[in-house]
Amino acid sequence: MLALLAGKDLGKIYESGLIFKKQSLLFRDISLEIEEGKTLGLMGPSGTGKTTLGLIMAGLERPTSGHVCHRGKDIEDLKGKELIAFRRQVQMVFQDPQGSLNPRKSIERSIHEVLNLLSIPRREWQERTKDALEKVGLSEELLCRYPGQISGGQCQRVALGRVLLLRPKVMILDEPTSALDISVQAQILNLLKDLQRDMGLGYLLISHQPEVIGFMAHEKMILKDGISYSK
Ligand SMILES: Nc1ncnc2c1ncn2[C@@H]1O[C@H](COP(=O)(O)OP(=O)(O)OP(=O)(O)O)[C@@H](O)[C@H]1O
Ligand SMILES: [Mg+2]
């Protein structure tokens, strides 16, 4: 089966220093595949480049070597409709739920903003908003509140609801529950599993918690000392 998203021989080198340039190799020859309805768990010590690899897979950062392919096509070669499809279908979700929402915008405005971006006709906004909240298990009462007035777990649900409006196929989840209480973590992980089952989503799940990876992942990968191990 063709992977939704594949990284081939990815490498990343960072340059540091203003005058005396120093190059440091973060990782090299990393290959990975994200398949429909499956979760690839990515673990490894802090600073080994997990977030960087996630950003590269999402097309938000360039690899120094290697390629990322979306449905078999190198993302560097995508244009027009294919590029838009990639941008919508591959989404990244970050650790800090409060930080991913604008504190000065109500939840309703945050959601409407995405609908506007997608050029959804205004008459459909109410229905689409309701639908998005339902998918992530939130009530409409929350719409008039601001990110500071809802809990971290609710914030992460709103962030997921917004992303789902784009009808993604792949989600890169960078420590999506690390900022949350244990009980809330479990709820969000269960929600992610339900969404995966219902929508056939492929996940790249970055976590340093073996229990989280154990619960979610169909396959596991460890990034360490610049190379990857499968487990
Ligand atoms: N733009 C950049 N320029 C130079 N170095 C960078 C840049 N972005 C990240 N780094 C370095 O790359 C290394 C890996 O960072 P990254 O955030 O990908 O690690 P990580 O595995 O996600 O760590 P953690 O588990 O703590 O989240 C770090 O040492 C970081 O300082
Ligand atoms: Mg990280």
Digit-coded pLDDT (tens) for 155-185: 999 999 999 999 999 999 999 988 888 888 9
**Per-residue model confidence (pLDDT) at position 181:** 86
pLDDT confidence of residue 99? 77
Domain boundaries, the chain: 5-103+168-230
* pLDDT in the model for residue 231: 64
| Protein residue with least CA distance to atom 9, ligand 1 | 52
Of the listed ligands, the closest to the CA of 25 is: 1
197: enclosing H helix or E strand: helix 182-199
Q: What tokens were used for 158?
A: 């709103």
Q: Is the pLDDT of residue 106 over 90?
A: yes
88 Cβ contact partners less than 8 Å away, ≥ 6 residues apart: 166, 167, 168
In DSSP terms, which residues pair with 32 in a beta bridge?
A: 7
Split at pLDDT 50, 70, 90, the class of 95 is confident
Which ligand neighbours the alpha carbon of 44 most closely? 1
CA of 37 to the centre of ligand 1 (A): 28
Mean pLDDT of 72-76: 96
Q: What residues contact 92, with CB distance under 8 A and at least 6 apart? A: 54, 55, 58, 60, 171, 172, 173, 174
Q: CB–CB of 20/172 below 8 Å?
A: no
Structure-token pair, residue 93: 């979700």
Identify the burial level of 108 via C-beta atoms within 10 angstroms of its C-beta, where 0-12 means exposed, 13-18 middle and 19 or more buried: middle
pTM, two decimals, is: 0.92
Q: What integer is the mean pLDDT of 105-119?
A: 93
Look up the CATH architecture of domain 5-103+168-230.
3-Layer(aba) Sandwich (3.40)
CA angle 8, 81, 51 (to 5 degrees): 40
